[in-house]
């Protein structure tokens, strides 16, 4: 069991969700690291604004975008722990809303696979796709198992989708071949 007021930070890749979570942890630290039961108690009785300790722990310690209303309520409760006049609730909440919105947008439009991004940055992405496509064709004509060939086509489809788009003919063909070879 951990020490009261010390909350585990989740492993989150660099990006808006990490910024949001780090900011929640920083706010928690700034107000004296109150324990989960104290935060829950300050949130009120079991009404609309009540925050259970499990809910607080989830928001602070899981690598997922928290519920918008719960995040706002948690921020409001944490600000109540600050010494009088130290934090402005409206200003603090506005900053967290902006961070939440940025994380939500990033979740809706994730960055490309890091391997694909690295290939794009070096200018070799399309060469890599062409090599993978050629390898899948050769494997299909050899003694490889159908599952191995299907996995190779699935890899080609994933790479092609990120480089050329979901509806590009090469992507569609690779997906069809991955499905056909899997059976």
Q: How far is CA 107 from CA 65, 101, 103, 110, 140, in A?
A: 8, 10, 6, 5, 36
Say what the pLDDT of residue 183 is: 45
Say what the pLDDT of residue 92 is: 94
Report, in angstroms and rounded to the nearest whole number, the Rg of the chain calculated over CA atoms: 24
* Residue range 53-101, pLDDT digits in tens: 999 999 999 888 999 999 999 999 999 999 888 889 999 999 999 999 9
Say what the pLDDT of residue 1 is: 43
| Low pLDDT (below 70) residues in the chain | 1-5, 46-48, 110-124, 143-144, 180-183
Please tell me the number of Cα atoms within 13 Å of 24 on its side-chain side.
32
Tell me the C-alpha distance between 137 and 142, whole Å. Answer: 9
Residue whose structure tokens are 């719960």: 70
User: From start to end of 130-174, where are the E strands?
Assistant: none
């Amino acid at each position: 069991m951990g020490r009261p007021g010390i909350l585990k930070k989740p492993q989150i890749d660099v990006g808006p969700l990490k910024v949001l979570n780090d900011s929640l942890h920083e706010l928690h630290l700034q107000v004296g690291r109150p324990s989960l039961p104290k935060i829950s108690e300050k949130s009120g009785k079991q009404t609309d604004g009540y925050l259970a300790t499990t809910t607080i722990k989830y928001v602070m310690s899981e690598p997922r975008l928290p519920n918008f209303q719960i995040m706002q309520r948690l921020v409001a409760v944490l600000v109540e722990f600050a010494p009088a006049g130290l934090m402005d609730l409206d200003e603090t909440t506005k900053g967290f809303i902006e961070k939440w919105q940025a994380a939500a947008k990033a979740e809706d439009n994730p960055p490309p696979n890091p391997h694909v991004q690295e290939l794009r940055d070096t200018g070799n992405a399309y060469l890599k796709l062409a090599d993978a496509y050629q390898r899948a064709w050769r494997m299909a004509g050899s003694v490889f198992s159908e599952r191995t060939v299907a996995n190779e086509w699935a890899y080609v489809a994933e790479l092609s989708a990120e480089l050329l788009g979901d509806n590009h003919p090469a992507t569609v063909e690779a997906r069809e071949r991955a499905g056909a070879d899997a059976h």
